[in-house]
Structure 1
């Protein structure tokens, strides 16, 4: 009940502001983590509305009437993009009307990593360089990598195929926070309008193959919020969009975004230290949602039980995941709060691996500005709890 009331209050926040913030624009945000960043940027001015109830899957969702009304009345819609919420694309066009849009998946300076397919992920080659070919600004490439500090933003492109520029302070921030994405090609695809939810199939093996193909068509992994440096880039882009919609409060938005960046840099440094004792231990995740977290903190997963939370893995995929557990010596296989743990139990049966829980979207967290750092800290704590048990 308390969580429902909190969510309702957040939804109405941008529509029923106090007298002191009456001039704030009406803002609608798609998912909890992005909403948390927006709330941080709007602090002291107004409150953004949240279009999805906490804990719901972003890949497939039916808006409630109150959420549709919030979208319809919004002056600014902030969403990751159709790569994450394909159902929202038409709704933004039909209900959003003349509202300004900020697609977070297109924000320059934010890392975009390629989609991975198959139950087993490519081996993480420690110390392997990113493919930086064609980049105009990579001052950090000359830095020492003894501390494994890497910028997860290598290979960024905007949706028109141009390389996204990286500011010098972005490189400095990334070098403060430890590990990021060695061995991954961070080049983004130029197409983001693919179908994200795979179609059902009767043959389990065919289902798995189809799911892999559908995700590969997206070109890039949309779970971008799990890298705190992406959240920092988002905060700055939100401040720009809000300042354009509300020039009177532009200084407040930019100051809040600068504060958010400092907070997220410190958060990344803290989490890197938290994870240090278990770095290098093998694990599997329930579905491939954690690549940005893995890349930022040098915590590569060996594989995933399911391609997407939108589809259940077939028998072939489960068998493949069991083999990955065996061959990788996985210490832990992580489930997610909204899914029954029985599937993970099947995957680890007969092995020494333990079952753990990770929550990539903040399903059990209260909405608001504090939700984002709480989400990242919880992921780190969940990993340490499960991966340290066998040490």
Structure 2
């Protein structure tokens, strides 16, 4: 009988402990970023204040992604959601609209960001995609922008300021830490920006091609000049005629390098460059594999810079 009472008491204590832990975990604030690079910026501002997590798994593209029930739960339970906006992540639009505005940072809606947005290179295709996905009437006007805005150090700084402001509203008691984190992020970004500019200066005149126009903000910021975009579907190997056109283009324009992204199969990249002296490399616009820390955004920019320099030099 005594043993049974002891066993019951032990189970009761354990249950109470688990319940307490659950309450603490639920009450603990959290920042959820839609994409990994936004998580880099958020992690710097929230460092030592609240955890940061990323919605999309590594290797997943925001184009064509569908939310799972677990994703919806994470969005609802997060204290702050950071996303690029409906033009990039239309799959999130309806769910984000149900969240309180004070718990959302929409990069595309930040007033200071809007003047910095760049028109998409492939405007016609992007406008067609937007119309088709959102069922916009043909007579409606649609603004078609390149929304890979996290690749702009200037927009990254504005994003950090917006995240800081929202977290300050939610956690005024953490003001000192949040302020210190923002100052540290801005100082680190400025220092890294100068360093990377010097690293990229010797290759500014080197010609290269990309498969997609993802890196326009980074290229504009650092004075890089891509010769063009090869418009190759990462899932479908180009045909013989298209390969011949690409190789002719690479040789005639004396390209030094061709940059692909991680979703491109090596066979496609090798086929494009075969028979030429053009080097090949990969640029990762989402920073896969980089851990979320207070320094992850500057590490992300530094990694991209090294990829450009190693191929173009």
TM range (shorter): 0.7 to 0.9
In structure 1, list runs of 5 or more residues that go unmatched.
Answer: 1-15, 119-208
User: 1:4-23 residue pairs with structure 2 within 5 A?
Assistant: none
SS at match of 2:230: strand
In structure 2, list runs of 5 or more residues that go unmatched.
Answer: 1-19, 133-142
| CA drift at 1:24 | 5.9
Correspondence for 2:34: 30
Correspondence for 1:162: none
Instruction: State the Cα deviation string for residues 208-227 of structure 1 (Å, max 9, x = none).
Output: x7468547995211111112
Instruction: State the Cα deviation string for residues 266-289 of structure 1 (Å, max 9, x = none).
Output: 111111111122221001112111
Matched, 1:304 2:238: no
- The question of whether the paired residues in 2 share the 8 Å contact of 1:75 and 1:100 is answered with yes
Correspondence for 1:109: 112
Q: 2:47 aligned to 43, 50, 57, which one?
A: 43
Q: 1:88 aligned to 83, 88, 92, which one?
A: 92
Correspondence for 1:75: 79
- The question of whether the paired residues in 2 share the 8 Å contact of 1:72 and 1:97 is answered with no
User: 1:322-341 residue pairs with structure 2 within 5 A?
Assistant: 322-341=247-266
Correspondence for 1:342: 267
Equivalent pairs counted in the alignment come to 282
Aligned partners of 1:221 and 1:22: how far apart in 2?
Answer: 37
User: 1:1-391 residue pairs with structure 2 within 5 A?
Assistant: 25-94=29-98, 96=99, 100-110=103-113, 111-117=116-122, 210=125, 213-214=128-129, 218-306=143-231, 321-388=246-313
Aligned partners of 1:377 and 1:237: how far apart in 2?
Answer: 23
Aligned partners of 2:272 and 2:186: how far apart in 1?
Answer: 39
Normalization by structure 2: what TM-score? 0.78
- The question of whether the paired residues in 1 share the 8 Å contact of 2:31 and 2:50 is answered with no
| CA drift at 1:293 | 0.7
- The question of whether the paired residues in 1 share the 8 Å contact of 2:47 and 2:293 is answered with no
SS at match of 1:381: helix
- The question of whether the paired residues in 2 share the 8 Å contact of 1:336 and 1:357 is answered with yes
Q: Which has the higher helix share?
A: 2
CA gap 1:357/1:289 in 2 versus in 1, 3 angstroms: same
SS at match of 1:81: coil
RMSD: 3.3
| CA drift at 1:319 | 6.0
Normalization by structure 1: what TM-score? 0.64
- The question of whether the paired residues in 1 share the 8 Å contact of 2:200 and 2:309 is answered with yes
- The question of whether the paired residues in 2 share the 8 Å contact of 1:43 and 1:256 is answered with yes
Aligned partners of 2:187 and 2:268: how far apart in 1?
Answer: 40
Aligned partners of 2:266 and 2:233: how far apart in 1?
Answer: 16
